[in-house]
Amino acid sequence: MAGSTHYEPLSPELEKSLDTLTRYHREQFQMLQDADRAQARANRKVPLLNCDRLFIDLARGNLAGENREALQEAAKRDGVTLDPVRPYISFRDLTVAAGPSAGFLKQTTVQESIDLLRPWSVLARAGIQIEFGLVGDQLIPKVTAKTTPNWLPNEGATGTATTPQLSQISMTPKNVIGSLNYSRQFSKQANASQFAARELLRTVGSSIDQAVINGSGVSGQPTGLIGTTGVQTQSGTTLNAGCATMKRKSAEANVTDESISFLSTPAVRELLEGREKATGGGKFTWDKDLVADRAAYVSTDVPTATMICGDFSLIYLGFWGAGITLEINPYEQTNFRAGIIQARVLAICDVAVLHPSAFVVASSIT
**Is the C-alpha dihedral spanning 206, 209, 214, 216 positive or negative?**
positive
Selection from 292, 175, 149 nearest residue 234 by Cα: 292
- Measured at the CA of 250, the angle between CA 230 and CA 349, to 5 degrees, comes to 55
Report yes or no on 55 lying in a domain: no
Per-residue pLDDT tens over the stretch 22-50: 888 888 888 887 777 777 666 656 666 66
- Quote the distance between the C-alpha of residue 260 and its chain's center: 19
Cβ-based neighbours of 134, under 8 Å, separated by 6 or more: 171, 173, 318, 319, 320, 321
What is the C-alpha to C-alpha distance for residues 74 and 90, in angstroms, rounded to an integer? Answer: 7
Q: Is the dihedral of CA 7, 9, 14, 19 positive or negative?
A: positive
Beta carbons within 8 Å of 246's beta carbon, 6+ residues apart: 234, 262, 292, 307, 309, 360, 362
Give the model's confidence band at 75: pLDDT under 50 very low, under 70 low, under 90 confident, else very high.
Answer: low
- What's the gap between Cα 173 and its chain centre? 20
**How many CB atoms are located within 10 Å of the residue 345 CB?**
20
Does 99 map to a domain? no
Res 6: pLDDT:
62
Q: Is residue 102 part of a domain?
A: no
CATH number for the domain including 174?
3.30.2400.10
User: In the predicted model, is pLDDT for residue 261 greater than 70?
Assistant: yes
pLDDT at 303 exceeding the cut of 80? yes
Q: Count the domains in the chain.
A: 1
- Indicate whether 342 belongs to any domain: yes
Q: Please state the rounded mean pLDDT for residues 227-235.
A: 95
Asked if the model's pLDDT at residue 170 lies above 70, the reply is yes
Report the mean per-residue pLDDT for the chain: 78
Indicate the helix (H) or strand (E) that contains 326: strand 315-329
User: Would 58 be classed as within a structural domain?
Assistant: no
Domain contains 320: yes
- The pLDDT score that the predictor gives to residue 77 is 63
Q: Which pTM was predicted?
A: 0.65
pLDDT of residue 245: 96
Q: Which domain holds residue 134?
A: 111-141+164-366
Report the percentage of the chain scoring pLDDT > 70. Answer: 72
Residues 351 and 223: beta-carbon distance below 8 Å: yes
Instruction: Kindly indicate the confidence band of residue 133, based on its pLDDT and cuts at 50, 70 and 90.
Output: confident
* Tens of pLDDT, residues 173-203: 998 887 777 777 776 666 665 676 667 767 7
Look at residue 138 in the predicted model and tell me its pLDDT. 87
313: confidence class by pLDDT, cuts 50, 70, 90: very high
Note whether residue 316 is domain-resident. yes
Three-state secondary structure of 4-38:
CCCCCCCCHHHHHHHHHHHHHHHHHHHHHHHHHHH
Determine contact, residues 86/92, Cβ cutoff 8 Å: no
In a domain, 314, yes or no: yes
Q: Judge whether residue 63 has pLDDT over 80.
A: no
Q: Count of CB atoms within 10 A of residue 286's CB?
A: 23
Rounded Cα gap, residues 113 and 121, in angstroms: 11
Per-residue exposure over 306-318, b if at least 16 CB sit within 10 Å of its own CB, e if not:
bbbbbbbebbbbb
- pLDDT-derived band at 109 (thresholds 50, 70, 90) equals very low
